[in-house]
Structure 1
Amino acid sequence: MKKIPILLAALGLASYSGLAFAEADAERGAATAAICMACHQADGSGMNIAGGESWPRLAGLDAAYISRQLHDYKSGARSNASMMPFVNMLNEQQIQDVAAYYASLPATQGKGSEGADEATLKRGQQLAERGDWSDYIVSCKSCHGPDNQGAGDVFPGISGQHAGYIKAQLQAWKAGARKNDTQDLMGSIARRMSEDDIHAVAVWLASQNSVAK
């Protein structure tokens, strides 16, 4: 069995669920990403819409994480009415290519922290960097890594992500509408957070650098 991945690698192929396909190609992904640009923008910066549906910045995120989320949409493990029709257009090769494309783009800066007061930002920083053990809230960086820049394909970089998107996802985990995280880690944390806490951590993270210092 070990000969199979070795042979695929030698041929410039990768495997997924027993199928072989060419290694991810960002240039091919750029063409495929045309169907994503209306919401995620040509530069992958996404959109922060106050009071409406916000679309995440994809630029600079880990390719394996993007691929994993696309697979979760495709399988139904993660649900979004706007995303589903577009994800279902993609075959396995296109998923790998578009993930590589967005990962190759320079990370842009998140929006939504404008006008946040000092007390809100201070609370958000506490939650993101130290957590709040009085309410058993684990810090964001415990999983999302130093400066919340991400850790592999499970924990995305959330520093510099749009506040509206972070807020919406925390609310979805809190309500049980989103469940595709490892061992309900995000759900268990979000359920301990008040709406003020969710807002505070979202705007603070949006105000931070989207790339490592």
Structure 2
Amino acid sequence: MGLTLNSPEYPPMSFLRAFRRPGFMSMLGLALCSSSALAANPAAEGAAIAQHGAGSAVPACMSCHGVKGEGNAAAGFPRLAGLPAGYIAAQLHSFAQGTRPNSLMSPLAKALNDGQITALADYYSHLPLPVAAYGPMPAPAMAATGQRLAERGDWNAGIASCFRCHGPGGVGVAPDFPPIIGQPASYIDAQIKAWKTGARRNDPQGLMHTIALRMSDADTQAVAAWLAAQKPSAPKAR
């Protein structure tokens, strides 16, 4: 059976009437040119997605991660500003592939193409770091535990220090090990627990899963609170 004007596959008459209107092709051309311009300028495309989203499936990143990529400590949304581009891109791919499942981020990451992911990662990696820490220094006993675990670990429990992989001062070692200072305590705590349960499975060689299994809840809370109280610093390049 051939197509007719009443076939659902056929363009509706309202579209055909609009198509014939003066100026329609100019408007269509402008939209296509704008889209092409963004694709040709990754920095502009990354900024556009961060600030305005990408279609109906991807809202503006800043609605959760802050206007300047500073994160939202109260809601547990991490800082993106100043993170290594390679790390951000890898996390978006992990969200999309299911190795870092998240009910909010997974569908958003799946809606982004590779070019958009690269553009977003590059955009956030070039944003300036926040100037203040994300939380107050915890009580002395808790702070001492957190600092010890971050700087020296607990070899009796088989827990390597955080800074052994994440670099001196926890500023990160691009692109695989992100900064762990200057992130909200609630976010750090949640990620350690996700590795512990196996909900998050995108750590290199299963390192974080192994370490998290050996940490008590008190250990996790202490190191998260201490790290959050440190002022953000730029990651080191390999």
Q: Is the structural similarity TM-score above 0.5?
A: yes
Equivalent pair of 1:123/1:201 in contact (CA under 8 Å): yes
Larger radius of gyration: 2
Whole-Å separation in 1 of the counterparts to 2:195 and 2:108: 23
The reply on whether 1:44 has 2:69 as its aligned counterpart is: yes
2:165 corresponding residue in structure 1: 143
Partner amino acid, structure 2, of 1:93:
G
Residues 66-85 of structure 1, C-alpha deviations (whole Å, 9 max, x = no match): 00000111111211001122
Residues 91-140 of structure 1, C-alpha deviations (whole Å, 9 max, x = no match): 111100000111011112442x3362011111100000000111110000
1:24-173 aligned within 5 A: 25-34=42-51, 35-49=60-74, 53-108=75-130, 109-111=132-134, 113-114=135-136, 116-173=138-195
Size of the aligned set, in residue pairs, is 188
Equivalent pair of 2:137/2:226 in contact (CA under 8 Å): no
1:12 corresponding residue in structure 2: none
CA-CA distance at 1:24 after TM superposition: 7.7
1:180-199 aligned within 5 A: 180-199=202-221
Equivalent pair of 1:26/1:104 in contact (CA under 8 Å): no
TM-score, length of structure 1 as denominator length: 0.83
Whole-Å separation in 2 of the counterparts to 1:56 and 1:204: 16
Whole-Å separation in 2 of the counterparts to 1:115 and 1:206: 8
Equivalent pair of 2:150/2:223 in contact (CA under 8 Å): yes
Whole-Å separation in 2 of the counterparts to 1:78 and 1:23: 30
Partner amino acid, structure 2, of 1:32:
I
Change in Cα spacing, 1:204 to 1:137, as seen in structure 2 (3 Å) is: same
Question: Secondary structure of 2:95's match?
Answer: helix
Whole-Å separation in 1 of the counterparts to 2:40 and 2:86: 13
Superposed CA RMSD in Å reads 1.8
Whole-Å separation in 2 of the counterparts to 1:197 and 1:186: 14
Structure 1 residue runs without a partner (length 5+):
1-21
Which residue, out of 190, 208, 211, partners 2:230? 208
